[in-house]
Structure 1
Amino acid sequence: MTYEQTLERIHAFPRFGGSPGVERVRKLLAQLGNPQDRLKYIHVAGTNGKGSTCAMIASVLQKAGYRTGLFTSPFLSDFCERIRVDAEKIPRESLVEITEEVLPVAQGLIENGEALTEFDFTTALGFLWFARQQCDFVVLEVGLGGRNDATNVIGTPLVSVITSISLDHTSVLGDTVEQIAAEKAGIIKPYGVTVAYGDQLPGAMEVIRRAAMKQHNRLVEAAPSVLSVVSSGLHGTELRYEGLSLHLPLLGEYQVKNAATALAALSVVQEHGYSIPDQALMEGFAAVRFPARMELLSENPLVFLDGAHNPDGTHALAETLRNHLAGRPLVGLIGMLADKDVHTAAENLDGLFEQVVTVTPDNPRAMPAEELAAIWRVHGTPAYPVEGVSAAFDKALTLLKENGALVICGSLFLAGEIRPIARKRLREKVGLSADFE
């Protein structure tokens, strides 16, 4: 198969299966020799901050000299982003090879009545690749929820990590933070250690505490106070941690809390007897790259890309804009999915943008640009619906004033679609970020 044919076969699996649970992927992995049982994990669930926290942990472990796998979702521009070893995406030819190997096994299970999903299949590919690459650790991000997620097929990890919990995917996970927390806390395995984001909503934290107690886990609440912010600017945040100076190239107060969570998880890894020198902490944090999380794409013009798409995420984005872009005339380029809480997102960002360009992301669940523009006009913000992300990006640039900034946000699907277009438009600009991929 070609790479394109491989992606077609992977995406042909349904998004959701029949009955929830991990038994489907367990059966698939059993026929592949259970590669997941040969690996050590840092397992990460949560509503917001999963990806950033995973990126920090993986970067530090790699700088400490460990061969480190990283499994994340969704991807932005290339499916291979989801499966990385030492920050390198799985090569396309390798993805083709293991897909050709796993596909007949999956088809046999489907013929016997197993409703395998795309995420089940992708998770199996990841485990197989990480095992064959002889990873020392795998930083494993949950896809959706936790309890019934395909990644939850693993045994007790070195540490279970639960990042910030808020309302999202309510039709699947429940419509209260307590219900969602119960699904996320489903990754807590017997006789392990759990690290929880230290600024949880009280109801969510109580659920996590009960789940940890039930599974005989020691619970570590990652207090943000272990870090002090020395300074922050458009290129990130300078931190102090136990006498060390850490540079985190990510913007936002919430990223400081994610960093505290990552550091707590790394401390647990050290308790297992693995060495993580101070130099690895400093180099690992400085090397963190995580696209579409208040990502600085260009300084002239000033352009940011953020994937915030739920109430907690857009609240955090609003806080970051007030802290770092106060006084600048802002233009928003926004596209969202219709099944997200679009009205709350607009309320959270209300008053921050002088003008908004709306666009329909390339997704069957996308909200039409005209409908999204109407919501922003209700808030008194001039809004211009534009067809196509390329045209929308160009329109947004024309609205920028001197000393202004463009903020692209609303959906990771929009972020993935527009990112290469932004690179093409901004490539010749002096301020284009040097590490922009």
Structure 2
Amino acid sequence: MGIMLSDIIKHTRYKVGHFTSPVINDDREMISIDGKEINETEFIASYQNILGEIHRHGGDATVLTKFEWWVLIALEYFGRQQVDYVVLEAGQHGLCDPTNAVENPLVVAFSKIAPDYFEQQETNLVKITETKLGAIKQGSTVVSYPGQDATVNQYLKETTAKVGATWYDHKPKITLLKSAPDGLLLNVNDLKGLKLSLTGSYQIQICQRCYKL
């Protein structure tokens, strides 16, 4: 979903940073601006800037995990490049995920919460959901996956109200016109004949969530 959303924002002429994991070939794939991954020079510059700030404040850089370093480098790089928006995909660390350090997200989007998503083989959806709630911050707008479990959605709604965020429940109307090996042909509200170059019915739900965002 992150790539799809980033592309949508980019094509509206905004400068968009994107952080995602895991990667396929190179760790630098995690960090990109307008679809172009961070180069080695910029990566080193961000690393040195962060390291300098840690030392200036008397901190210990060795206590940071690899994933925490990547999140910090992404945020420093995006700030230095003055992007308009950032699509920041959380990892699987729940309440301890370093992306939770962002205090003022504009929108918080939840993917499908299910037992097979959780590393520790937890099967209780409420307990799994509890680990994700740290992402919801005061003043943010919360969007959930279309078809999310009703119990999960209720828990998310309660937390949204409790912290002073806004629950967004508008669902765009999507009609599947054609499914082929090269993608899907859709009507999305007033957009007719939209070509989605991805296959699989679940792509419609991902498209729906991107449209909500």
TM-score by length of 2: 0.89
The answer on whether the counterparts of 1:66 and 1:136 sit within 8 Å (CA) in structure 2 is yes
Partner of 1:221, secondary structure, is: coil
1:300 aligned residue: none
Return closer, same or farther for 1:156/1:262 CA change in 2, 3 Å cut-off: same
> Using the alignment, how far apart are the partners of 1:246 and 1:214 within structure 2?
38
1:55 maps to: 3
Cα deviation code 1:327-376 (max 9, x no counterpart): xxxxxxxxxxxxxxxxxxxxxxxxxxxxxxxxxxxxxxxxxxxxxxxxxx
- Name segments (4+ residues, structure 1) moved above 4 Å: 104-108
1:142 has 2:90 as partner = yes
2:124 is the counterpart of 1:176? yes
Aligned partner letter, 2:176: V
Number of residue pairs the alignment of both structures matches:
209
Q: Give distance in 1, aligned partners of 2:188 and 2:68.
A: 39
Of residues 142, 156, 163 in structure 2, which corresponds to 1:208?
156
Tell me whether 1:109 sits opposite 2:59 in the alignment: yes
Matches within 5 A, 1:404-423: none
Could you tell me which runs of 5 or more consecutive residues in structure 1 were left unpaired when the two chains were aligned.
1-52, 266-437
| 1:237-276 deviations in Å (ceiling 9; x for gaps) | 11111221321111111111011111101xxxxxxxxxxx
The letter for the 1-side match of 2:120 is S
Match of 2:35 in 1: 87
Q: 1:120 and 1:106 mapped to 2: Cα distance?
A: 13
* Deviation, structure 1 residue 170: 4.1
RMSD over aligned Cα atoms: 2.0
Equivalence for 1:231 = 178
Displacement of 1:140 after TM fit? 0.6
1:251-307 per-position Cα deviation (integer Å, ceiling 9, x unaligned)? 111111011111101xxxxxxxxxxxxxxxxxxxxxxxxxxxxxxxxxxxxxxxxxx
User: What is the deviation of 1:115?
Assistant: 2.6
> Which residue in 2 is equivalent to 1:333?
none
Distance 1:101 1:190, change over 3 A: closer
User: Kindly, what percent of the aligned residue pairs are identical?
Assistant: 26
Determine the C-alpha separation between the residues in 2 that align with 1:240 and 1:101: 47
Normalised to the residue count of structure 1, the TM-score between the two structures is: 0.45
SS of the residue 2:7 aligns to: helix
Structure 2, unpaired ranges of 5+: none
* 1:152 matched to 2:100: yes
Larger C-alpha radius of gyration, 1 or 2? Answer: 1
- 1:54 & 1:170 partners in 2: Cα distance? 21
